[in-house]
């Protein structure tokens, strides 16, 4: 039996659910199809279970895309304040954690509940546990042959997300559909992801696992001043996740381990004022002891008093502390990445509506599109904004 709708949305994640209720609110008959058992799985685990659902400072500069202008229209027509108003309408308590990042006070479940309640209220149907076997375009209609029957509609919204965290149901289906309908896919790679280190460095620093430092991590493109965390495999923490999205394999990342200090001047001043102070003691004033000793050992800095350290050595120490060069072996990949960079090329989409420029009634929203946000609520804001742009034009 065929079921007829005005709109079929594939993917009951952040973008798909937000699009569904808004389209239904405009009087359209909407169905959301998803192979998962549960809607909004990524929302549920996001932000450590509290969902960093938006960022007070979200703006187009916080996004990576081959076309950095593409996200502007959608972001300006559905802002963080619009989503905050929805959260407040549903009585969900929230707080700012840091840097404008807004989290639920209690649980991310409240955000999924809110989206499903809106879908219920406006009559959008959410059909889970539905494997999509085939999608075709015939007689001006999309036909989805699924494990739960055949669904037809003149409009199809692809909201299948990216490749990160296959355990949560991520698949390349969105990209495959895009290609099926003649869309270009820009190369995809894991973003917001921890770095792995080469064996020697991994061994040297793995004993620091769990230790965090405030740093500035930089590539030629940009830099982020946030925390860095040592792990058993390499480096993580917000500063590393952020810079990973800008990092290309083979590139070296510079890490300023002492942002806000001037190690050159401070070491010279200490050499004059406290010549008997040991170099390693100075490092212990700046860093946790465990890090100071391991790092000095790895850099082969001598255990000498400052008076006995040549100016060349102190310059080398200061240079290294302000620009520790790290050449990652790679990243932890999609297994732990928060997002997928690249995806459906925005050149073939309308930035106002997210519609395909050449295939009638076809739309792409959320992470499947080549728009990727920074860490801190920006990716959900893109999901909400692109969903709104699409729903307003269906």
The piece of 42-50, 283-291, 306-314, 318-326 that touches ligand FDA (CB under 6 A) is: 42-50
The piece of 40-48, 76-84, 92-100, 134-142 that touches ligand FDA (CB under 6 A) is: 40-48
Tell me the CB-side half-sphere exposure of residue 350, using CA atoms within 13 A: 16
In the three-class reduction of DSSP (H, G, I as helix; E, B as strand; rest coil), residue 264 is classed as helix
Contact 221, 213 (CB under 8 A): no
- Residue from 13, 237, 343, 361 touching ligand FDA (CB under 6 A): that is 13
Q: Is 236 in the site for ligand FDA (CB under 6 A)?
A: no
**Cα 139 vs. chain centroid, distance in angstroms?**
39
Locate 357 and state its tokens: 């420029």
- Residue from 7, 8, 9, 15 touching ligand FDA (CB under 6 A): that is 15
Contact 50, 108 (CB under 8 A): yes
Q: Is the CB of 218 or the CB of 331 nearer to ligand FDA?
A: 331
- CA dihedral (172, 175, 176, 182) in degrees, to 10, reads -170
| Minimum distance, C-beta of residue 296 to ligand FDA, in the bound complex (Å) | 35
Locate 108 and state its tokens: 């991310």
Contact 279, 321 (CB under 8 A): no
Give which of 2, 349, 21, 352 is closest to 174, Cα–Cα: 349
The piece of 46-54, 112-120, 252-260, 286-294 that touches ligand FDA (CB under 6 A) is: 46-54
Close Cβ partners of 207 (under 8 Å, ≥ 6 residues apart): 290, 294
Contact 356, 349 (CB under 8 A): yes
Cα radius of gyration rounded to whole Å, the chain:
25
- Residue from 195, 379, 385, 390 touching ligand FDA (CB under 6 A): that is 379
| Minimum distance, C-beta of residue 120 to ligand FDA, in the bound complex (Å) | 18
Locate 221 and state its tokens: 């493109």
Residues from 141 through 200 that contact ligand FDA (CB under 6 A): 159-161, 164-165, 169-171, 173
Q: Is 286 in the site for ligand FDA (CB under 6 A)?
A: no
- Residue from 71, 366, 374, 394 touching ligand FDA (CB under 6 A): that is 366
Contact 9, 157 (CB under 8 A): yes
Q: Is 44 in the site for ligand FDA (CB under 6 A)?
A: no
- Residue from 65, 301, 377, 391 touching ligand FDA (CB under 6 A): that is 377
Q: Is 345 in the site for ligand FDA (CB under 6 A)?
A: no
| Minimum distance, C-beta of residue 374 to ligand FDA, in the bound complex (Å) | 9
Phi, psi of 125 (to 5 degrees): -90, 130
Contact 112, 44 (CB under 8 A): yes
| Minimum distance, C-beta of residue 203 to ligand FDA, in the bound complex (Å) | 28
Neighbours of 93 (CB within 10 A): 10
Q: Is the CB of 256 or the CB of 367 nearer to ligand FDA?
A: 367
Close Cβ partners of 342 (under 8 Å, ≥ 6 residues apart): 185, 186, 187, 188, 189, 370, 372
The piece of 43-51, 147-155, 181-189, 224-232 that touches ligand FDA (CB under 6 A) is: 43-51
Q: Is 344 in the site for ligand FDA (CB under 6 A)?
A: no
Strand partners, 141: 138
Q: Is 237 in the site for ligand FDA (CB under 6 A)?
A: no
Residues from 304 through 323 that contact ligand FDA (CB under 6 A): none
Residues from 100 through 139 that contact ligand FDA (CB under 6 A): 132
Q: Is the CB of 12 or the CB of 116 nearer to ligand FDA?
A: 12
- Residue from 253, 279, 339, 371 touching ligand FDA (CB under 6 A): that is 339
Q: Is 14 in the site for ligand FDA (CB under 6 A)?
A: yes
- Pairwise CA distance, residues 327 & 316, whole Å: 19
Binding residues for ligand FDA, rule CB under 6 A, total 36
Binding stretches for ligand FDA (CB under 6 A): 10-16, 34-36, 41-42, 45-47, 51-52, 132, 159-161, 164-165, 169-171, 173, 338-339, 366-367, 377-380, 383
């Amino acid at each position: 039996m065929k079921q007829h709708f005005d709109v079929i949305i594939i993917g009951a994640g952040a973008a798909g659910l937000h699009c569904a209720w808004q389209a239904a609110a405009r009087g359209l008959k909407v169905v959301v199809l998803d192979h998962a058992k549960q809607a909004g799985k990524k929302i549920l685990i996001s932000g450590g279970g509290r969902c960093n659902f938006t960022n007070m400072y979200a703006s187009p500069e916080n996004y990576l895309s081959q076309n950095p202008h593409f996200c502007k229209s959608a972001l300006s027509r559905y802002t963080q304040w619009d989503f905050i108003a929805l959260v407040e309408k549903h009585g969900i308590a929230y707080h700012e954690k840091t840097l404008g990042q807004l989290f639920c006070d209690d649980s991310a479940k409240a955000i999924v509940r809110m989206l499903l309640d809106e879908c219920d209220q406006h009559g959008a149907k959410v059909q889970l546990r539905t494997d999509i076997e085939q999608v075709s375009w015939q007689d001006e209609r999309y036909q989805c042959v699924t494990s739960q029957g055949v669904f037809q509609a003149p409009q199809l919204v692809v909201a299948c997300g990216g490749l990160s965290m296959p355990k949560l149901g991520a698949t390349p289906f969105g990209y495959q559909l895009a290609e099926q309908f003649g869309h270009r896919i820009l190369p995809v790679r894991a973003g917001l992801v921890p770095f792995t280190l080469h064996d020697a460095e991994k061994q040297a620093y793995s004993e620091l696992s769990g230790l965090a430092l405030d740093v500035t991590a930089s590539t030629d493109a940009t830099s982020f001043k946030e925390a860095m965390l040592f792990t058993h495999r390499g480096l993580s923490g917000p500063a590393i996740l952020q810079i990973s999205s800008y990092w290309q394999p083979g590139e070296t990342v510079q890490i300023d381990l002492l942002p806000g200090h001037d190690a050159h001047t401070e070491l010279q001043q200490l050499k004059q004022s406290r010549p008997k102070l040991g170099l390693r003691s100075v490092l212990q004033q700046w860093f946790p002891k465990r890090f100071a000793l391991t790092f000095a050992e790895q850099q082969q800095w001598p255990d000498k008093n400052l008076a006995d350290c040549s100016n060349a050595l102190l310059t080398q120490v200061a240079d290294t502390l302000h620009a520790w060069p790290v050449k990652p072996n790679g990243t932890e990949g999609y297994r732990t990445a928060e997002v997928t960079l690249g995806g459906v090329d925005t050149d073939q989409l309308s930035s106002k509506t997210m519609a395909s420029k050449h295939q009638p009634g076809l739309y792409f929203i959320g992470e499947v599109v080549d728009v990727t946000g920074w860490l801190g609520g920006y990716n959900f804001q893109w999901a909400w904004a692109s969903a709104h742009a699409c729903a307003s034009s269906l």
